[in-house]
Amino acid sequence: TGQPIVQHKISAPWRQENTPSVHVYDDGSWWDYGAGVGGDVIDFLGYYYYGLQYNPETHFTEVVDRIGSLGIKPLPADTQRTKSTPKPPKRNVVSLEQIMDWHERMPAQRRAYWHSRGLLDRTIDEFFLGWDGRRYTIPALYRLQPFGVKRRQSEIDDGIPAKYNQIAGSRAGLFNADCLWTATRCIICEGEIDAMLLSQAGYHVVSSTAGAGSWKEGWAELFSHIPEIVILYDNDEAGREGACRVRASLRRAEIVTLPASIKDVGELWKTGSCTAWLAENL
C-alpha cells in the first residue's frame, strides 16, 4: 500500500473522536487507526452507512445499491482516462475462524516448540499461536480482526535453516496493539516472540510485524495518551537504526539497549537472567 499523505488525514464519520485518525493512502485505500478497520472506497461508504457494524461480506451488495440510487451522472464520453492504480490488497488475509482452527488443532509436539521459545501455555492461547500443517503461525490481530499472519518454517522438519514469511496480503502493523488502550507505560520491541515474552512478564508491549525498519509515522498517534514509552529493539545495526527511527516520531520515548552479548529478548531469556535484567533496566 502507499504511504500516508498527511493532508489526507481525516476524522472518522462513523464514530466520535477528538483527533483525526483515518489515513487515506495514495492507492485509494484507507485505514482507521482508532478503530482498526480499513479498506477501499466501498468499505469507507459501508462504514459510513452502517458504522462499525459494517461487514464487507454481508453488506457489499447493499452498499453498491445505495451508491446506485444516488443518481450520479456518468462521465462525458470524451473524458480522458487516467492511469489506473493497483487495487488495494484485501485487508483480512485469513479469517479468525481459520486462525482459531490452526490454534486448536495444533498437535502437542508443536506446542512444545513454543515452550522451547519461553512461552507458557496461557501465552500460546492468548495470542492464538498455531500450526497450519507445515509451518508455525503467529497471527496479528486488532480487536480480533486479522491483518497479518507470520509463518515460521521449522528447520527440524525440513532440514533447512528456519525462516519466517508472511501470508500473502499481510500488511505492516503493530502486534498486540490492543494493549495500548489501557497502557500508562509501554515497550516497543522488534519481534513478535520478544513481544510475547515481555507481555508474559507483565509489560504492555507492541512490535512491528514487518521488522526493525518498518515503523510508520502515523503509528505515533496510538501512543498519544501514554506518558512513558521504552524502545527495546534488537542489539544489532538494523535494530539500532530502527530504534532511532521510532524515537524520531516519539520524542519522549527512551531507548534501552540490551547487554552487549545479547541480540534480543529471546536470547536474554535463554540466559536465565531475563526477569532480573528487565526489572533492573525497565
Could you give all domains of the chain from N- to C-terminal order, each with its CATH number? 4-68 (no CATH), 92-171 (3.90.980.10), 172-282 (3.40.1360.10)
**Per-residue H/E/C for the chain:** CCCEEEEEEECCCCCCCCCCCEEEECCCCEEECCCCEEECHHHHHHHHHHHHHCCHHHHHHHHHHHHHCCCCCCCCCCCCCCCCCCCCCCCCCCCHHHHHHHHHCCCHHHHHHHHHCCCCHHHHHHCCCEECCCEEEEEEEECCEEEEEEEEECHHHHCCCCEEEECCCCCCCEECHHHHHHCCEEEEECCHHHHHHHHHCCCCEEEECCCCCCCCHHHHHHHCCCCEEEEECCCCHHHHHHHHHHHHHCCCCEECCCCCCCCCHHHHHHCCCHHHHHHHHC
Q: What tens digit of pLDDT does each residue of 11-60 get?
A: 888 888 778 878 787 666 777 877 777 778 888 888 888 888 888 778 88
| Chain centroid to CA 189 | 13
pLDDT of 36 reads 74
Give the CA-trace dihedral at 190, 144, 98, 219, to 10 degrees: -30
Among 253, 249, 248, residue whose Cα is nearest residue 229? 253
pLDDT of 247 reads 93
Low-confidence ranges of the chain (pLDDT < 50): 1-7, 79-90
pLDDT of 35 reads 78
pLDDT of 85 reads 41
| Chain centroid to CA 152 | 17
* pTM for this entry: 0.67
**Cα–Cα dist 127/145, whole Å:** 13
Q: Cβ of 17: how many Cβ atoms within 10 Å? A: 13
pLDDT of 67 reads 82
